[in-house]
Amino acid sequence: MTEERKGRDGMTDVSIVSCGSYDRAEVKSALRQVLAPLGGLDWVREGMTVAVKANLVTALRPDRAATTHPAMLAALTELLRERGARVVIGDSPGGVYNSIYVNRVYAADGLKEAEKAGAELNRDFGETHAENPDGKVLKELTYTSWLDGADAVIDFCKLKSHGMMGMSGAAKNMFGVIPGTMKPEYHFRFPDHEDFADMLVDLDERFRPRLCLADAVVGMEGNGPTAGTPRKLGFVAASESPHRLDQVCAGILGLEEDAVPTLRAAKRRGLIPQSAADLSVSGDPSAFAVKDFRLVAESRSLLFAGDGKSPFLRAFSAFAGKVLRTKPKVAKDECVGCGVCRNTCPAKAITIEKGKAVIDRSACIRCFCCQEFCPKGAMKVHRTALARLAGKI
């Protein structure tokens, strides 16, 4: 049964509808339905250029559930083209931001389907440097230039578990505006998870997507965002706010909101209410709730900082931070010594010894770049035995 809750201003914050497969007709129908409570695509003017920022994190087949499905992108393209818009789809995957690498990602991710529907794939690999005085932590940035030519940006994420941020959704998806080889630099600039989350929110506020969509027909659980397991979720969601969209999706996955750093950051800035229950939602999120979704626990939810004044509580918090925090760990039997983790580590904390990756714990900043881009899934998000016990108390 469809349920609709309206806020005081009568506007819908988040819309969610069922979508059981990636059949093009079903996907297109679901997109029409999910957009209707938000006013559809009435804001699209003939002749405007719409940039669709997809999640194309790496070169993986669509059935691996790591990237925005091409059927979703193709159906959205058709809807935008029907209104006379030019559609450009792009992202900056992890790796060298050039035509050779990114075109390989486009091919592997199945984007020819979107091209056939009338979309252009971004092939402007320029970079723009800009000041960002309104940012909380990100006062200047370098981003992908193709967005400069857009009249509007649509953030089309893939719903997944995430090693560093707990969940990869609409807010995290905008990290793809940073050129691929610069991403480790941003991890090194903002190694603290709270600062990194604030940096992501700064990006969301800087680029202000006109519309945010979540491909959650099949999501990813476990060792996400690239080496996890596909999990059917059966829905598509939409919002004008990446944080409101993520707030609803977190509840569906069984994630406590305070366990998602980007949601904590958005709350601190007043961008979302203290609870998803205060949002105006079209559709019934509880109908899609997954009780046993395998998440990557984020360590900060296990810390006990107290009021920050007590020396004992500060000392205990520091101790808890060391013994409870998650960290990347090498599964030796799966590691092939390819060196991708070593090459992507911003802290240069990984070496290859005797054909296996070795992590220098004193240098590791827990950005989980190694875990995100390991092509064999040999890097795992590891929780200590004490952290696992604490999570059950």
Which residues of 337-389 form beta strands (DSSP E)? 350-353, 356-359, 379-382
User: Residue 302: what pLDDT?
Assistant: 37
The arithmetic mean of pLDDT across residues 5-17, rounded, is 73
Give the start-to-end residue ranges of the domains of the chain.
Answer: 14-288, 324-392
| Domain formed by 324-392, architecture | 2-Layer Sandwich (3.30)
Residue 297 pLDDT greater than 60, yes or no: no
Structure tokens at 188: 């090194």
Share the mean pLDDT of the chain: 90
**For residues 93 and 112, what is the distance between their CA atoms, to the nearest angstrom?**
17
Under 8 Å between Cβ of 201 and 136: yes
Phi, psi of 183 (to 5 degrees): -55, -45
**For residues 380 and 283, what is the distance between their CA atoms, to the nearest angstrom?**
35
Task: Give the angle 91-150-112 at the CA atoms, nearest 5°.
Answer: 45
Span 14-288: which CATH code?
3.40.50.11440
User: Residue 1: what pLDDT?
Assistant: 29
**For residues 74 and 159, what is the distance between their CA atoms, to the nearest angstrom?**
18
**For residues 167 and 202, what is the distance between their CA atoms, to the nearest angstrom?**
18
Count other C-beta atoms under 10 Å from residue 351's C-beta.
Answer: 14
User: Residue 7: what pLDDT?
Assistant: 40
The residue with tokens 């800035």 is 269
200-211 per-position pLDDT tens digit: 999 999 999 999
The residue with tokens 């596909």 is 230
The arithmetic mean of pLDDT across residues 339-343, rounded, is 94
DSSP-H helix ranges across the chain? 24-35, 70-82, 99-108, 112-116, 170-173, 183-189, 193-207, 242-253, 261-268, 311-324, 340-344, 369-373, 385-392
Pick the more confident residue, 94 or 216.
Answer: 216
Structure tokens at 250: 């977190």
User: Residue 327: what pLDDT?
Assistant: 85
